[in-house]
Structure 1
Amino acid sequence: MAKEKLVLIGNGMAGIRCLEEIILSDPNRFSITVFGSENHLNYNRILLSSILQGNSSFEETIIRDSDWYEKNQIKVYTNETVIQLDNVNKTLTTNRNRDVSYDKLILATGSTPFVPPLPGTGKEGIMTFRTIEDCRQIMNSADKGKSAVVIGGGLLGLEAAQGLIHLGMEVTVVHNAETIMNNQLDSVAAGLLQDSLQKEGVKFLLKKETQCFKGGSRVEKVILADGKELPADLVIIAAGVRPNIQLAQECGLNTNKGIVVNGYMQTSFPDIYAVGECAEHRGVVYGLVKPLYEQGKVLAKHICGVPAEEYKGSILSTKLKISGMEVFSAGNLFEKGFTKALTLYDEDEQTYKKIVFKHNKISGFLMVGDLQGHVRLLDMMKRKRDFSDDEKVQLLNSAEEEHISSMAQTSIVCNCNGVTKKSIIEAVSAKGLETVEEVRSCTKASGTCGGCKPLVEELLFYIKSDDFHEKMEPSTLCCCTNLTEEEIVEQIQIRGLRSIEDVFTALDWRKENGCSICVPALRYFLSMTVPGYKGDGQSIWISDMENAIREEDGTYSIFPQIYGGETASDQLQKIAAAAEKYSIPKIALSNNGRIKLTGILEKDLPGIWQTLKMKLIPVPQTAAVSVNMNDSKSCGCEMDSPKKMAVQLQKKTEYAIFPKRLEMGIEPCSHASTNFAGKDIVAIKIRQGWEIYIGENPGELLTIASIEEEAEEVIIALMQYYRESAKYLESVSEWTARIGLIHLREVLFDFELRKLLIRRLEEDTYNAASRLPVF
């Protein structure tokens, strides 16, 4: 089968990271061609300011060299610009008259520096600061002792100013706002940073507009709107950037500020995608690295046909270190209405912290001079954790940073690349990494902006110390494979694997027949991901009255269905008759309230089925749902409604396979202490409706439903979401702790999403008689 032709326009960080994700998802799907306007291969644009400041070299900016393109059979054209797209015929033309056809196209054209249309901007000595060539030109033009003017007091302008100071120039920053970095910092934080830069020699002129540039062929002066003249041998314009959308506009794509995309990064032409600084998602154009990488992951999965959640936007955060002062800004600091801000300012230490809360959740925070705890705060903001007033104050008054040993292994260390503490520990332990550079090469941590480098250094030192005793949960599914659970599911979907034998063969399983850990796990993965999966023949399914589960010793077990924990004499008589006639060795009450007939020989199954003539449930006990009702009350409270709910829930989930056995209890009233300790989900009838609890001993209150129908809907949607998002053998309590109660409420209280989850569970069980997985 011929490969599809994929063309990437843009050889920058966002586009190439997207290709990395595509190659990871499906390495043989596309024949890839890349066009880049610059005369360089893929490099790290963020490190350019570090080069100006003397902390990095040009060589250190290279991310992917020619060997990488060659290894992945990528045809790359540098210093060549695409000038025309033909959406009808799916072809493009370059400035070198090269015509190339495509099946899929990715636009990663980035952004271009905004140069205000002022008189004199074309003079020599006036530059922007965006590319390697810009950086080289600035360094070659900088003369020690001469005057430089930077137009713009944002992040890029300040980094350029500090770089020019390092090169020995006299630097003045002209900014049109009242404070520097006014989009990320409040007045206090901006003042601290400005003071620090002024001590290094940077001068500031704030609330000033530039009128024009004077001189002969080369700039000599900057004239401000108030008539003030500044001597200028060199001018750097850092007045922001604009998405590069000209090519998209000319070919008829829907554009606004950027190229408008949906949640899968598709443009108004489905076979054309856009990613990075040129893309506009839900009215927002992102200029920071982490959102661009997140977009790339979603795009890669979608273009490869792999199921993926839509990109929903990103929390913006900025970390920098200028003139020795560290600054971290995240989220929304300036939102008005329903917000409350807490601040802590130490004038002597020149440190400042500010946390903005909205509805008792962190909506943004700011740290200057002391970044202790910023990783933890960012994690809590992402999880949308609720805080009491006392907890809010404690966040600010925390005098000492938690030691890295107390950081959760799931916490993000490298925000740009999404690298967790656990990933770094595993890499260091498995590969014997000794330096930050080796960690960067192996995990990408600190490989983009470099802001997390101190944290990576601290973690590396901790791992190598005698204090390191953290136990790591196995990342791989079992000893039969090097793959994680997520990677196995992804490969099942990508490669279209439809049986356990397919998995063993395609994924190079170490043991021919697997083990007791991976075999049941693979059955579950296949049942959840492969439409129509009927199992691998280990058990028997003919109909809902003729089925059985095969046990490890080769015998079979049968589970007569009992609703609401109640049976009848005729059902018991049939079971007794079958047991006596076919010498069934063991009859027991299973731990989910069902009767279990076990030790049955395969030859006896047809006769037993004929004798019983009742509904049987062929769902492994380890993956079943159990619904029990506490009917031992003597208070006289109404029992019919709770009993009806228990039966309804049991019927709606009786064929559903779960990651781990799920126990549910129905409590008819709240007059007596519950007998449902250890249950995963508990519903208690109260006067106002139903209280629904989740988690064990005693569990947390999830919600209060006003009527029985609402309670049933919430519980069914909750069960389906657990099926879809929990890891194999992850308990409901562990799952809830991982995804967060707040997130769970957001999902279940979204009416449309709740209906969708209910519908998906119905679809999973509707055709059970024809496609129920047999294990």
Structure 2
Amino acid sequence: MQKEKLVLIGNGMAGVRTLEELLKLAPERYEITVFGAEPHPNYNRIMLSPVLAGEKSISDIILNERDWYAEHGIALKTGDAVTRIDRIARKVVTNSGEEMAYDRLLIATGSNPFIIPVPGHDKSGVIGFRDIADVERMLEAAGRYKKAVVIGGGLLGLEAANGLQKNGMEVTVVHLMDSLMERQLDKPAADLLKASLETRGLKFLMQAQTAEITGDERVRGVKFADGSEIEADLVVMAVGIRPNMALAQDAGIHCDRGIVVSDTMQTYDPRIYAVGECVQHRNVCYGLVAPLFDQAKVAANHLANLGIARYEGSITSTKLKVTGIDLFSAGEFNEGEGDETLVLQDPGAGVYKKLVLRDNRVKGAVMYGDTLDGSWYFQLLREGTDISAFRNTILFGQHDLGDAGHGDQTRIASLGPEAEICGCNGVCKGEIVDSIVKQGLFTLEDVRAHTKASSSCGSCTGLVESILASTVGEGYSATPSKKPMCGCTEFSHDEVIAGIREYQLKDMDAVRDFFEWKQPDGCASCRPALNYYLLSSWPGEYQDDAQSRFINERAHGNIQKDGTYSVVPRMFGGLCTPADLRAIADACDKYKVPEMKVTGGQRIDMFGIHKEDLPAMWKDLSDAGLVSGHAYGKALRTVKTCAGKNWCRFGTQDSTGLGVKLEQMTWGSWMPHKFKLAVSGCPRNCAEATIKDFGIVCVDSGYELHVGGNGGIKVRVTDLLCKVETEADVLEYCAAFIQKYREEGRYLERTAPWVERVGLQYIKDAIFDEQQRKALAERFRYSQTFSQIDPWKERAEGNDSHEFRKIEICAA
């Protein structure tokens, strides 16, 4: 098939990101030509400030070297701007006179700096701050002159001022308003920022209106409307940008404040698409990088003729790229009628946090001095999470990061490059930062693909996102509220779950066909998730796909760093008999187990078992009545108990007996992630029930039920669900909560983030409604009729593979 011709006008970040996304979807569809007005290949424009400050070089910020274009068969024409679009003949004409025909045209001409049209604005030494050439001119001026004036106290102006000062210039920032960065900060945060910058030597003239740039051919000063004047050898205009739409206007393409595009990123000419700072979408023009990448993905989807993606706008966040200053803002941070404001302020420590709430949902956030939780607040804002359950602690930061999270006193900025961020894959901070900088990464998925960080259990996601935000500033493309399951589909976990149930999709092929999966067999990311969603949706009907499980689940043991496995038999509620211990000891002798350990979950772990010995070892243990503890599974792990009233003088209820009943009811249950229970016999809480996924604290009058806890480095204390009176109530409420989580939790999502994502009140509404609660509990009990049979015993006894797969569902 003859390739269509695609021409890209503009070699910037948005346009080239569109090509990158397109090459993933339809690498052979187009013959691609790129025209760039600048002489450079694609570079990271948002990192110009660190280049100006001397923290990076030009080569450090190149995103796609010329070899990349050649490797993908893309013709790159640099230093030759397109000057005319002939829509009738479907061709473009460049400044050099070259003509290029197109079948599809992509306009990504970006924006131009706004130069205030005051007298003298065209003098030598008056420049904008938009590209590499501007940076080179500023660096050249810094080497020859001493005094600089930056007009504009916004994000770009302050970054320019910081860079010029680091190059030895005396810098004065002139701003029309009474506070800096008024579009991103409220007054208290802006005052802290100004004070900090002043200690670094920057000077400020606030509420100053520029009237004239003075001098002969070259600038010598700036005169203001009140008649005052200051000296200047260099004037940098950083007062805003304007979409570069002149080329589109001349071609008769509909424009307003920018090139008007639809939700598919098409202009009014269906053969012409546009992305980036040059476009206007739903009356909004975006000047930050993250929304432009969202647009690029949608444009690529339609250029590839998939036709299913839509761009519906973006919520943006901002971070100042000035070393040593931590600042973050997002959403609508100026409260309006009906809004509430939460503020944490410590002027002495230079810390300020403000959250604007509406109906217990985050509407906007401003942070200065301590911005570690910025990505979490941004996620709460995007997803519209009800924060009422943790409103009283939200200003103190995120508390659901789980096993691989950061400690209470740790801050990303203070972590050294050797600090381990992802425990599952052994990835340190330095490796992540290096990949972000050298590979030009902007999204969590990019980091996962290059470093494996956050690609396993996902509990370090908050840390990785914070490193991304800290490293690339506003270029960070945060996890969207509608995040695709993986690169195989545009649909989210929630949409796939709903589709499976609504349209009766009962095997993986049916799901992939219905949702038009890009890869017919899926990938390592989506196959385990689809397998779980089908198991949980169709118990007894869907046949488990063992090849869509992680190696630990396929082998029924935890793989260790030397390639051997550990085996953990289940001990219900921590109880065991002499016969159990003899069976374990005999297995250890027979299979030459080099080490045994009593686990924190009240069980015995046997290490160093070879994979080929696992079936026989499990048969021996099964013959003795021992079954798997599922220490390897995304399933129920343990039910931790204390001695309870039968032995302990403080015990109020039979916690051990209740723990046994809970474990007998729930063991073998596949879950979105690992799941732990605990029963404490009194409020002294020896079983640590208040940091478990579901915890019970026994009191004289009954049982307190707690949900959504998490242990590890960063502890997330449970939320109190309710108090019940009988053991039967405990079992029913527990079954209902688990089933709600199993049906609605996303694969690899622990209960802690799930509870915070959907809101505790949402869960209470379901569990407290007697009809819903009993229905959930009944569905859980039904699913358990297909579990709780030891799979290794069945396999060892030679049952056919069909029956074994049915048994191995273990809790669909």
Range of TM-score over shorter length: 0.5 to 0.7
Task: Note the alpha carbon deviations across 1:288-347, whole angstroms, 9 max, x for none.
Answer: 111111111111111111243311111110112435221011111125222111111101
Shift of 1:441: 7.0
Shift of 1:352: 0.3
Within the candidate set 431, 434, 443, 1:435 is matched to 431
Q: Supply the distance in 1 between the matched residues of 2:41 and 2:159 (Cα, whole angstroms).
A: 24
Code of the residue aligned with 2:435 in structure 1: it is V
Shift of 1:440: 2.6
1:148-159 aligned at under 5 Å gives the runs: 148-159=148-159
TM-score, normalised relative to structure 1: 0.58
Q: Which residue of 2 aligns with 1:260?
A: 260
Within the candidate set 507, 522, 527, 2:509 is matched to 522
Q: Supply the distance in 1 between the matched residues of 2:278 and 2:193 (Cα, whole angstroms).
A: 30
- Report the CA distance shift for 1:168/1:400 in structure 2 as closer, same or farther (over 3 A): farther
- Report the CA distance shift for 1:402/1:203 in structure 2 as closer, same or farther (over 3 A): farther
Q: Is the 1:427–1:443 contact (alpha carbons within 8 Å) kept by the matching residues of 2?
A: no
Task: Note the alpha carbon deviations across 1:116-170, whole angstroms, 9 max, x for none.
Answer: 1111111111111111111011101114772111111011110111111111111
1:63-102 aligned at under 5 Å gives the runs: 63-102=63-102
- Report the CA distance shift for 1:292/1:161 in structure 2 as closer, same or farther (over 3 A): same
Please report the RMSD computed on the Cα atoms of aligned residues, expressed in angstroms.
4.5
Q: Which residue of 2 aligns with 1:177?
A: 177
- Report the CA distance shift for 1:210/1:457 in structure 2 as closer, same or farther (over 3 A): farther
Residue 160 of structure 2 is aligned to residue 122 of structure 1: no
Q: Supply the distance in 2 between the matched residues of 1:730 and 1:59 (Cα, whole angstroms).
A: 38
Q: Is the 2:400–2:753 contact (alpha carbons within 8 Å) kept by the matching residues of 1?
A: no
List runs of 5+ in structure 2 lacking aligned partners. Answer: 413-419, 464-483, 492-504, 521-540, 545-671, 673-732, 764-812
Shift of 1:524: 3.5
Shift of 1:359: 2.0
Q: Which residue of 1 aligns with 2:634?
A: none
Q: Supply the distance in 2 between the matched residues of 1:311 and 1:44 (Cα, whole angstroms).
A: 23
- Report the CA distance shift for 1:161/1:441 in structure 2 as closer, same or farther (over 3 A): closer
Shift of 1:232: 0.6
Task: Note the alpha carbon deviations across 1:261-294, whole angstroms, 9 max, x for none.
Answer: 1111111111111101011111111111111111
- Report the CA distance shift for 1:320/1:428 in structure 2 as closer, same or farther (over 3 A): farther
| SS in structure 1 of the partner of residue 343 of structure 2 | strand
Q: Which residue of 1 aligns with 2:395?
A: 396
Q: Is the 1:373–1:401 contact (alpha carbons within 8 Å) kept by the matching residues of 2?
A: no
Task: Note the alpha carbon deviations across 1:42-75, whole angstroms, 9 max, x for none.
Answer: 0111111101212111110111001100000000
| SS in structure 1 of the partner of residue 344 of structure 2 | strand
Code of the residue aligned with 1:525 in structure 2: it is R
Q: Supply the distance in 2 between the matched residues of 1:79 and 1:9 (Cα, whole angstroms).
A: 12
Within the candidate set 698, 703, 707, 2:736 is matched to 698
Q: Is the 1:404–1:458 contact (alpha carbons within 8 Å) kept by the matching residues of 2?
A: no
Q: Is the 2:386–2:758 contact (alpha carbons within 8 Å) kept by the matching residues of 1?
A: no
Q: Which residue of 2 aligns with 1:135?
A: 135
Q: Which residue of 2 aligns with 1:567?
A: none
Shift of 1:734: 13
Q: Which residue of 2 aligns with 1:202?
A: 202
Q: Supply the distance in 1 between the matched residues of 2:58 and 2:226 (Cα, whole angstroms).
A: 40
TM-score, normalised relative to structure 2: 0.56
Code of the residue aligned with 1:316 in structure 2: it is T
| SS in structure 2 of the partner of residue 92 of structure 1 | strand
Residue 234 of structure 2 is aligned to residue 247 of structure 1: no
Q: Supply the distance in 2 between the matched residues of 1:282 and 1:53 (Cα, whole angstroms).
A: 36
- Report the CA distance shift for 1:519/1:433 in structure 2 as closer, same or farther (over 3 A): farther
Q: Is the 2:386–2:759 contact (alpha carbons within 8 Å) kept by the matching residues of 1?
A: no
Q: Is the 2:507–2:542 contact (alpha carbons within 8 Å) kept by the matching residues of 1?
A: no
1:302-701 aligned at under 5 Å gives the runs: 302-322=302-322, 324-334=324-334, 336-388=336-388, 391-398=390-397, 405-406=404-405, 435-436=431-432, 438-440=434-436, 444-445=440-441, 486-488=486-488, 520-529=507-516, 697-698=735-736
Q: Supply the distance in 1 between the matched residues of 2:57 and 2:46 (Cα, whole angstroms).
A: 12
Q: Which residue of 2 aligns with 1:613?
A: none
- Report the CA distance shift for 1:442/1:197 in structure 2 as closer, same or farther (over 3 A): closer
| SS in structure 2 of the partner of residue 136 of structure 1 | helix
Shift of 1:424: 7.2
Q: Supply the distance in 1 between the matched residues of 2:2 and 2:421 (Cα, whole angstroms).
A: 36
- Report the CA distance shift for 1:696/1:203 in structure 2 as closer, same or farther (over 3 A): same
- Report the CA distance shift for 1:736/1:203 in structure 2 as closer, same or farther (over 3 A): closer
Q: Supply the distance in 2 between the matched residues of 1:391 and 1:551 (Cα, whole angstroms).
A: 40
Q: Supply the distance in 2 between the matched residues of 1:735 and 1:233 (Cα, whole angstroms).
A: 54
Shift of 1:350: 1.1
Shift of 1:520: 4.0
Code of the residue aligned with 2:344 in structure 1: it is L
- Report the CA distance shift for 1:525/1:403 in structure 2 as closer, same or farther (over 3 A): closer
| SS in structure 1 of the partner of residue 326 of structure 2 | strand
| SS in structure 2 of the partner of residue 268 of structure 1 | coil
List runs of 5+ in structure 1 lacking aligned partners. Answer: 414-421, 469-483, 492-517, 534-548, 553-659, 661-694, 703-721, 746-775
| SS in structure 1 of the partner of residue 348 of structure 2 | coil
Q: Supply the distance in 1 between the matched residues of 2:760 and 2:282 (Cα, whole angstroms).
A: 23
| SS in structure 1 of the partner of residue 736 of structure 2 | coil
Shift of 1:486: 4.2
Q: Share of identical aligned residues, percent?
A: 37
Q: Which residue of 2 aligns with 1:505?
A: none
Q: Supply the distance in 1 between the matched residues of 2:425 and 2:195 (Cα, whole angstroms).
A: 41
Q: Is the 1:107–1:275 contact (alpha carbons within 8 Å) kept by the matching residues of 2?
A: yes
- Report the CA distance shift for 1:167/1:423 in structure 2 as closer, same or farther (over 3 A): closer
| SS in structure 1 of the partner of residue 260 of structure 2 | strand
Code of the residue aligned with 2:182 in structure 1: it is N
| SS in structure 1 of the partner of residue 193 of structure 2 | helix
Shift of 1:88: 2.1
- Report the CA distance shift for 1:407/1:29 in structure 2 as closer, same or farther (over 3 A): farther
| SS in structure 1 of the partner of residue 189 of structure 2 | helix
Q: Supply the distance in 1 between the matched residues of 2:383 and 2:234 (Cα, whole angstroms).
A: 46
Q: Supply the distance in 1 between the matched residues of 2:127 and 2:24 (Cα, whole angstroms).
A: 39
| SS in structure 2 of the partner of residue 193 of structure 1 | helix
Residue 187 of structure 2 is aligned to residue 187 of structure 1: yes
Q: Supply the distance in 2 between the matched residues of 1:222 and 1:551 (Cα, whole angstroms).
A: 76
Shift of 1:447: 8.5
Q: Supply the distance in 2 between the matched residues of 1:399 and 1:21 (Cα, whole angstroms).
A: 33
Q: Which residue of 1 aligns with 2:167?
A: 167
Q: Is the 1:361–1:385 contact (alpha carbons within 8 Å) kept by the matching residues of 2?
A: yes
Q: Which residue of 2 aligns with 1:592?
A: none
Q: Supply the distance in 1 between the matched residues of 2:44 and 2:105 (Cα, whole angstroms).
A: 23
Q: Is the 1:142–1:169 contact (alpha carbons within 8 Å) kept by the matching residues of 2?
A: yes
Q: Which residue of 2 aligns with 1:219?
A: 219
Shift of 1:697: 4.3
Task: Note the alpha carbon deviations across 1:704-744, whole angstroms, 9 max, x for none.
Answer: xxxxxxxxxxxxxxxxxx9xx998x999x999879848999
Shift of 1:439: 3.3
Task: Note the alpha carbon deviations across 1:20-47, whole angstroms, 9 max, x for none.
Answer: 0000111001110100001111011111
| SS in structure 1 of the partner of residue 404 of structure 2 | helix
Q: Is the 1:33–1:74 contact (alpha carbons within 8 Å) kept by the matching residues of 2?
A: yes
Q: Which residue of 1 aligns with 2:18?
A: 18
Q: Supply the distance in 2 between the matched residues of 1:305 and 1:735 (Cα, whole angstroms).
A: 36
Code of the residue aligned with 1:698 in structure 2: it is A
Q: Supply the distance in 2 between the matched residues of 1:377 and 1:358 (Cα, whole angstroms).
A: 14
Q: Supply the distance in 1 between the matched residues of 2:421 and 2:5 (Cα, whole angstroms).
A: 34
Query: How many equivalent pairs are there?
Result: 505
Q: Is the 1:47–1:61 contact (alpha carbons within 8 Å) kept by the matching residues of 2?
A: yes
Code of the residue aligned with 2:278 in structure 1: it is C
Q: Is the 1:344–1:396 contact (alpha carbons within 8 Å) kept by the matching residues of 2?
A: yes
Q: Supply the distance in 1 between the matched residues of 2:485 and 2:295 (Cα, whole angstroms).
A: 23
Q: Supply the distance in 2 between the matched residues of 1:56 and 1:28 (Cα, whole angstroms).
A: 36
